[in-house]
Structure formats: structure tokens, C-alpha cells
Amino acid sequence: MKKAIFLGALFISFASIAQKVNIIPQPNEIKVSNSNKKFELTAATKIYYSGNEHLKKDALYLQSYLQQYYQIKPEVLPTTSKKTEPYIFLQENNTNKQGHTEGAYTMEITKKSIEIASENNTDGVFCGIQTLIQLLPTTTSNIEIPQLSIKDAPRFQYRGMHLDVSRHFFPVSFIKKYIDYLAYHKLNEFHWHLTDDQGWRIEIKKYPKLTSIGAWRNGTLIGRYPGTGNDNKKYGGYYTQEEIKEVVQYAKDRHIDVIPEIEMPGHSSAAIAAYPWLSCFPNEPTAIPKNMISEQSKDELQKGPKKLVQETWGVFDDIFCAGKDSTFMFLDNVIDEVCALFPSKYLHIGGDEAPKTHWAKCPVCQERMKKMGLKDEHELQSWFVQRIEKYVNSKGKTLIGWDEILEGGLAPNAVVMSWRGEAGGIQAAKEKHDVIMTPGNPVYFDHSQTEYEDSITIGGYNPIEKVYAYNPIPKELSQNESHFVLGSQANVWTEYIGNTAKVEYMIFPRMAALSEVLWTELPNKNWENFANRLPAQLNRYKKWGANYSKAFFDLKTEILPTADRNGILWKLTGKTDDSIHIRFLEQDNELVYTEPLLIKTASTPVCTYSVDNQKMELSQSFIFNKATGKNISLEEPASENYPGDGAFTLVNGVVNTKGLGRSKEFLGFDGKDCNAFIDLGEIKSISSVVVHTMSNKGSWIWEPSSVNVTISDDGKNYTPAGQSTNFISNKSTNGIIQVDFNSKNARYIRIDIKNHGTIEDGNPGAGHKAWLFVDEIEVK
């Protein structure tokens, strides 16, 4: 018999899972009977519904699920028939009570019946069906369900998932499956990102070139940016209007709203490739870096200037011209066709990462600014968005935009989708605008969910624990202001997600954590309880044939300072079948892990352990220098999107070797300098400071413009030691700046790492402040 080893909070007893009710998201009120008698669902069970068309669809949905996964097909009947036991009864109770909560439902399960009811809302019964599905066993032949009662309602009305189909295209069959995944998790909003620089994916009949030209690119970057060349394979695809209607109806039958996104004014290279006159400079060729461009595009550009669909990732200067009336005629016509296809009350227009370099040089844009009394290009973008919003409102829709639409003044009725942290959402809510919170940290599901990269990701580290801990209501908002937060969604950008299996891998099981964040009231949330319920959900993913990440079972590592700041502690938590064995590459001995491991010299511990009978291995290399494990502070904290483990990350003995693939080891500073103070504990002789940093211009990350070192004996009076501007690349995008100086004695060291500043024209993110990434600081 195997022995489960308890390592911190993440302890799961597989033996007891079958005896528990494993529902995700956790219902807000549930009472489970002590009776051993259960409801048995068989082919003889009938599904009754209380006489309206959408309840009939809900009943047929449940029947279809049972037939697909359990090979039984209960008869579906209206309640005009006399109910015979055993039965499932779906009903809506329409009362005269004021107010209602969409998605609220009750469930009563006895030995002879299951009754699911909603009050004054049309979504509740369907949400109750999802709860019933989670009560079904995944492994046994007998379908037995415990007796219980549930009274449940969602915390937030907006519970969403996003999917980018521009960078990589996915067929209608998968879009339907994706919608099913949302439904299973009680999510009700599907944000469909249909256009971007790398492809236009929706048929617009008035402008056929959007799909005949704009939906196809001549090749795609190989590997993580800046990559290793171009694959030279024509790539693309699009959805016909009939396919769009099919998807929208499919989602409607699952009580899911489909929100289309048509990017403007930036991220418009694909549209401009189809109709160059939409650009400020239609006769200028599309800029694609020489080491990333396809052979086909090279050949086409040799024949003369041409607009092309982008083949790599990032932000590009081509933008819809804000000075031409013809641009708005085009966009109005596109909006007409989009609104006719999507009944959602929302239309997302992007509005993010819009470079202003072309507008600044464009005479017609400058004339527009003069005519409208606009002081700069930020106000021109605000005017652009407000102009579009008026038209969107005239179609009976509400505009959603990424938080950049705040720049220059917010459109009167717009909903802000806050992605660059929470600041934009906080500002919008304080201005009494509705907000959807979707900060990169922690709800960008294109970010890695494991510390140990198993495939290429765009960067960032959002493990399931971090997703589960998220609260979409920022603490900075008052109770009244918090009402403007409609909810949240997770985003799936697909630069490095090229197939459906990887989409599933990136969303599961984090979608389960998100669903509980958005459904379950805070007092009813508990990580340990969720962790105990999750393996049953993973078994359900298996039953669906879905791919999912097993990072949940990884050993979680933490690097901590010692009390005396002499060395570091390596802490491991997780659930294993038996003991964790640790050996050091530099030594022959082996030990059993019982407590955080003290490390005082450069070394590489290797852990071996097993989870669910699978052998696992984990290793970590530590460097050591005079700063390792010492006290460190920062003048200003890193961005909440790239916080690492705080300032101690910079002296924890770990040097990043994976670039953005393991960005937990980086602190990111958005447009700001990094000013660090290290206390060596005593006066020591030093002659060099090495700053490990990064240059990844496609992601707006630039190497520091300089590193300046000053030293002190008392922590108050500092004298110069040395400075350097020489960035030395040592692996892909990683590199160092080393400051050498004559040997000096000091206890305190101040390291000022200066941000590059504003990104110059011709580079991704031009006009924006650069990111500064710092990994480790060595003192020698």
C-alpha cells in the first residue's frame, strides 16, 4: 500500500474522492443527505420539462450528453404527461418577486427524482444541469447520484473566456467544442477575437478581399520571437457568415453570448493588406524584419511596395487612417454586417496597442486633429473610439474596448476590459463605467502554468493556484464602485498555440479555477477544498477526450531567505506517492526531503518522486556570490504583471535560462527604472556587479540603457563605484550588463538599472515606454 506524503497545503487523498461531492464551481449552498440510498439514473429514467421551448432544448441537451458519454437515452417529455418515477424534472418558476439573478437555480435530489428549478430567469436550469453532470460518476457502470439539495447563484453576471483565432485559426468544430467547455464550467460569455495583424477571420460580403487576401499570410515565424526564421507555408482560413450563424446559435442553445472583436484602429495589418487605402501611407511597404519574412513575401516586395498580412508577432505601425472619412465608411459597413450576425449586446473594437507614429506623420490625420481641436495623437485615438462608439450605439450595441481606450478620454458609454493589470479597471469604475477585469496576471491562459516549460509559451507564469486566488474586485474600489465590475474572463492568445490539443492543454484545468472565482461567493471558496475536488474534474476531462495540463501535480518550489541571511532555503510542496529523494550532482550522497533544504554553496539538487505511479524528476541549479540570500529592497516594486517573488527574486541564486518561458525569475518594470539596495551584512571587498537582464524587442522588453553602482558603509552616504552601458547577449534574449571597478570595501550597494525609455519609431511598441526585465544581481 502506498503512503501519501503531506507536503504543505496541497494534500489530496485519492481514496476518499469517490465518497465526496466534487462540484466545480462550488455551489454556494449545498446540503448532502446522510442516506446511503441514491438516485439511480437508467434508460428508464424520463426527463420532464415545464412546457417552453428553451427548457425543451435544455432537456434535449441533457439527453444528448447522457447518450454520448453514458450510452443511455432517457425519454424527454413535457409535463402535460403524468410524471412517472424515476424522473428528472426541469422547471421555471415565474413569480412576481422583484429582481432576479440570471443563472440562479435550486436542485433537489431524492431516491426517486431530481428536480432542477430556476426562479425568474432563463439560465438557471441550464446551470443546474451542469451541476448534475458533475454529480455523474466518470468510471463506474452504475450511475448513482447522492441525495442532496442545492440553492445556488453566481457571484458575477459576466463569466467569460476569450479565444484568438487570428494568430492561429481553428475550425468550427473546435469552436463548438470550446463553447461546450465554457458551458460545462458555467461560463456564459465567449469573446471571439476575429481580426488582427496576422489574419482576418470573418466574411464581410461588402469587402471580399478581407478574406481572399486578409485571411492568408505567406508564412509564420518559427519558434519564440525573434525566432529562427520563417516556415514559408501559406497559412490562414476564415468563417463564412453561415458558419458564424451556426456558431452563434450553438452558443445560444448553451446559454452563452458570443462577443465578436473587430480590432481598430491598430492591429489592422490584415485589413490594410486587403485594402491598402485604409492606411495612412498606402504606397509604403509592410515592414517585416528580414530574418522573419517569408520567401514569398520577399519576392512580392521586390516587385514594388506592397501591403502584406503580418507573419510574425508584436505591434506594427500600420494603422487605420483616422483622417480619412473613407476609413469610417469602411468600418461602419463592417460593423453593419457584424451586428447583423451577432445578437450580443456587446461589440468589442479592441483599441489596444495602437502605435501613433503614422498618425503623427500623416497630413490628413494632423488636419483632422486641427479641425477637431485635438492636442495630440492620444486625443485623436479617443476621438476615433468615440466616433465608432456612436455608430455602435446606433445599432443598439454597447462598445467594449481594451483599457487603452481610457487614453485621451473615455467614450461615454464604453465598457473597459482591463488587461494591463487592474489600474485601468479601477479608473473606469471610479468614473462609473462598467468594467470587465482580465489582467495578464493571473488570467492570461497563454502564459505558462508550470515553472518548468514543457512547450513554447509567450511568457509569464500563471499557475492554477494563482488563478484560483484572484479576486476581480480590486481592494481600491468602494462597495458602490465595485458594482461596476461586471466580472472577469481569461484570455487565450495563440501566437504559440497552433493546434486544438494545445488550446485544451492551456485552458485545463485553469478554467475550473476561473469558474469558481466567478461563480462562488468569497466565504465559500477554499483552495484546499478545491484541490481535493479537482482530480474528479480531471477524470471528467479524460472522459471528454480533452487534453489537459498535469502541472497541478508538480512539486511547487519556493526559494526563501534564511533567518540569518546566510544561505537560502529551497522549499518543496505537493502531493507525492512516497518520499522525495534528493541527490546533488556535485555529491554522491542522497537524502529524504523532510524540511526546506539549506543551500550555502553553488549546487544542483535533483529530486526524484512519483505521483499516481508516474516517476518524476525535478532539478534546480543555484549560483552563489556575495549577494545571494542577503537583504534586498527596491525603491519601487515591480509591475503586478511580473512581480516574481518580490525583491528577493534578484538574489535568490537562480539565473533564468529560459527567457520568457520562465518569467517567474524576472521582475518586470513597465516604463520604470529598477533601483535596488543590497545589504551584504558586513563590510566586504567587492570589485564587480553583474545584472542579469533581457532584450526581447518584439515584446517591448529592452535592455537597460545603463547600470550605475554606488556603495556605502552606513547605508546613508553613497559614493560612485562604476557604471556600464554594455549589454552582452549570452543566450537567445537573455544577457548581462557587468560593472567592473577597482576593489572597494562596502556593506551597502545601490544598483540603479535604467529603463530604455520611450521605444523609437520602427520598433514594436513605438511611442510606448519600454519594459525592463531584471533576473539576478551578482556581487563579486
Exposure class string for 255-264: b at 16+ Cβ within 10 A, else e: bbbbbbbbbb
Asked if the peptide bond before residue 285 counts as cis, ω within 30 degrees of 0, the response is no
> Which residues touch 610 (CB under 8 Å, ≥6 apart)?
576, 577, 578, 616
Q: How far apart are CA 331 and CA 412, in angstroms?
A: 20
SS3 745: strand
Q: How far apart are CA 20 and CA 179, in angstroms?
A: 28
267 catalytic residue (yes or no): yes
Q: What is the separation of C-alpha 63 from the centre of its chain, rounded to a whole number of angstroms?
A: 33
Looking at 189, 311, 353, 665, which residue is catalytic?
353
* Identified catalytic residue from 255, 267, 348, 768: 267
C-alpha 401/C-alpha 386 separation (Å) is 11
Instruction: Report the half-sphere exposure of 512 (CA within 13 A, side-chain side).
Output: 28
Q: How many residues does the chain have?
A: 780
Please name every residue paired with 603 in a beta bridge, in sequence order, or none if there are none: 622
Which of 167, 637, 659, 203 has the alpha carbon at shortest distance from 460?
659
Q: Please write down the HEC assignment for all residues of 162-217.
A: EEECCCCCCCHHHHHHHHHHHHHCCCCEEEEECEECCEECECCCCCCHHHHCCCEE
How far apart (Å, rounded) are the C-alpha atoms in residues 705 and 738?
13
CA 748 to chain centre: 39
CA distance 240 to 208: 11
Q: Active site residue: 123, 152, 196, 665, which one?
A: 196
Is 196 one of the catalytic residues? yes
Task: Output phi, psi for 73, to 5 deg.
Answer: -135, 85
Which whole-number Å values give the CA distances from 573 to 6, 400, 595, 649, in the listed order?
A: 8, 41, 10, 19
612 is annotated as an active-site residue: no
Q: What angle do CA 293, 296, 298 make, to 5 degrees?
A: 55
- Rounded CA gap, 98 and 84, in Å? 34
Q: In sequence order, what are the residues at sequence separation of 6 or more whose Cβ sits closer than 8 angstroms to the Cβ of residue 413? A: 389, 393, 398, 399
Contact 33, 146 (CB under 8 A): yes
Phi, psi of 53 (to 5 degrees): -65, -40
Greatest Cα pair distance, the chain, in angstroms, is 94
C-alpha cell of residue 592:
529524504
State the DSSP string of 562-631.
-TTSSSEEEEEEEEESSPPEEEETT-S-EEE--SPEEE-SSB-EEEEEEETTEEEEEE--B---TTTT-E
Task: Give the integer Cα–Cα distance in Å for 530 and 511.
Answer: 13
Cα separation, 267 vs 265, in Å, equals 7
Q: Active-site residues: which are they?
A: 196, 267, 353
